[in-house]
Structure 1
Amino acid sequence: MIRLTSALFTLAFAAAFSQTPPISGDKIRADVKYLASDELEGRGVGTSGERLATDYIARQLKAAGVQPAGDNGAFFQRVPLVGCTTRPSATLAIEAPNAARVALQFGTDYVGTAYSQQASNDFDADAVFVGHGISAPEFHWDDYKGVDLRGKVLVYFTNEPPSTDPAFFGGRALTYYGRWTYKFEEAARRGAVAALIIHTAPTAGYGWGVVSGSWSKEIPELQLRPGENGLKLAAWLSEEAGAKLVASSGKTLDQLLEMANQRSFRPFPLGVHVAGKIDVKLRRIDSRNVVGRVDGADPQLKSQAVLYSAHWDHLGISKPVNGDKIYNGAVDNATGCAVVLELARAWAALPQKPKRSAVFLFVTAEEAGLLGSEYYGKHPEVPTGETAVDINYDALYPFGKTRDVSVTGAERTTIWPLVERDAASMGLSIAPDAQPEQGHYYRSDHFSLARVGVPAFSISQGTNYIGKPADFGKTIFEQYNNEHYHRPSDEYHDDWNFEGMQQMAEFGLRLGIDIANSPTLPTWKPGDEFLSAREKSGVSGR
Structure 2
Amino acid sequence: PSLTYFSTSQKEQVDIKDAEIVFVGYAVEAAEYNWDDFKGADLNGKIMLILNNDPQIMNGDQLDENYFKGETRTYYGRYTYKFEQAMRKGAAGAILIHTTRSAGYPFRVLQGSGKNTSYAIDIEGSGYQLDFVSHLDSLTSDKIARKMGKSLPELFQMALDPNFKPVSTGLKLSAHIETALSEVKTSNLFAKIEGSDPDLKSQHILFSAHYDHLGMNHTDTEGDDEIFNGAWDNASGSASLLSLAEAFTKVKPKRSIIILHCAAEESGLLGSEYFVKRPPLPLNQIVADINIDMPNIYGISSDMAVIGVNSNSMGDELKRFAKSVMVDEKQSLRITDDPDPNAGLFYRSDQVHFAKAGIPAIYIESGRKFIGKPDDFYERKNEEVYHRVTDQIDDDWDLNGLERDLRLIFRTIISVANSTEQPKWHSGNEFESAYKNLYK
- Provide TM-score, normalisation by structure 2: 0.82
Question: Compared with structure 1, are the counterparts of its residues 230 and 431 closer, same or farther at alpha carbon in structure 2 (3 Å cutoff)?
Answer: closer
1:65-464 alignment, distance < 5 Å: 108-111=1-4, 113-124=6-17, 125-163=19-57, 164-208=63-107, 210-212=109-111, 216-225=115-124, 230-239=129-138, 242=141, 248-249=147-148, 253-316=152-215, 329-348=230-249, 350=250, 352-396=251-295, 398-427=297-326, 428-464=333-369
Residue 497 (1) aligns with residue 397 (2): yes
Alpha-carbon distance in 2 for matches of 1:526, 1:289: 33
Q: Which amino acid in 1 is paired with 2:376? A: F
SS in structure 1 at match of 2:85:
helix
Q: Once the 2 structures are TM-superposed, how far is the Cα of residue 338 of structure 1 from its aligned partner? A: 3.0
> Which is richer in helix?
1
The CA distance in 2 between the partners of 1:324 and 1:165, in whole Å, is 49
Compare 380-389 and 167-176 and name the one that shifted more: 380-389
Which amino acid counterpart does residue 288 of structure 2 have in structure 1? V
Offset of residue 234 of structure 1: 1.9
After superposition, the C-alpha distances for 1:168-215 in whole angstroms (9 at most, x for unaligned) are: 111211111111111111112222211122333322223445434775
Letter in 2 for 1:140: N
Asked whether the 8 Å contact 2:309–2:336 carries over to 1, the reply is no
Once structures 1 and 2 are overlaid, which stretch shifts more, 338-347 or 116-125? 338-347
Return the alpha-carbon distance in structure 2 between the equivalents of residues 489 and 184 of structure 1.
32
Is the contact between residue 389 and residue 522 of structure 1 (CA under 8 Å) also seen in structure 2? yes
Cα separation, partners in 2 of 1:372 and 1:228, compared to 1, 3 Å = closer
AA matched with 2:275: Y
DSSP 3-state at the match of 1:395: coil
Structure-2 change in CA distance of 1:266 and 1:354 (3 Å): closer
Quick one: percent identity of the two aligned structures? 37
Q: Which residue of 1 aligns with 2:60?
A: none
Question: What amino acid does structure 1 have at the position aligned with 2:284?
Answer: G
2:410 matches 1:472: no
Separation of aligned partners in 1, 2:21 and 2:219? 33
Equivalent pair of 1:296/1:302 in contact (CA under 8 Å): yes
Which residue among 517, 520, 531 is the counterpart of 2:421?
520
What code does the residue aligned with 1:343 have?
L
Of the structure 1 ranges 252-261 and 280-289, higher mean CA displacement relative to structure 2 is found in: 252-261
Q: Gapped runs of 5+ residues in structure 2?
A: 58-62, 327-332
Report the residue type matching 1:334 in the other structure: A
Runs of 5+ unmatched residues, structure 1: 1-107
Deviation at 1:229, TM superposition (A): 9.6
SS in 1 for 2:173: strand
CA contact (8 A) 1:316 1:326 kept: yes
**Cα RMSD (Å):** 3.6
Indicate the SS of the match to 1:410: coil
SS at match of 1:220: coil
Distance 1:140 1:148 in 2: 20
The one-letter code matched in structure 2 to 1:122 is: D
Cα 1:467/1:373, change in 2 over 3 Å: same
Which structure has the higher relative contact order (CA within 8 Å, separation 6+)?
A: 1
Q: In the TM superposition, what is the alpha-carbon distance from 1:231 to its structure 2 partner?
A: 1.3
| Paired position in structure 2 for 1:46 | none
Distance 2:174 2:202 in 1: 54
222-231 or 287-296, which deviates more: 222-231
CA contact (8 A) 1:325 1:488 kept: no
Q: Kindly tell me: are residues 283 and 467 of structure 1, through their superposed partners in 2, closer, same or farther at Cα, counting changes over 3 Å?
A: same
Aligned 8 A contact 1:431 1:463 in 2: no
Q: CA deviation at 1:362?
A: 1.4
| 1:248 Cα offset (Å) | 4.4
Farther-moved stretch of structure 1 (281-290 vs 135-144): 135-144
Shift of 1:489: 5.7
- Tell me the number of residue pairs that the alignment of Structure 1 and Structure 2 aligns: 425
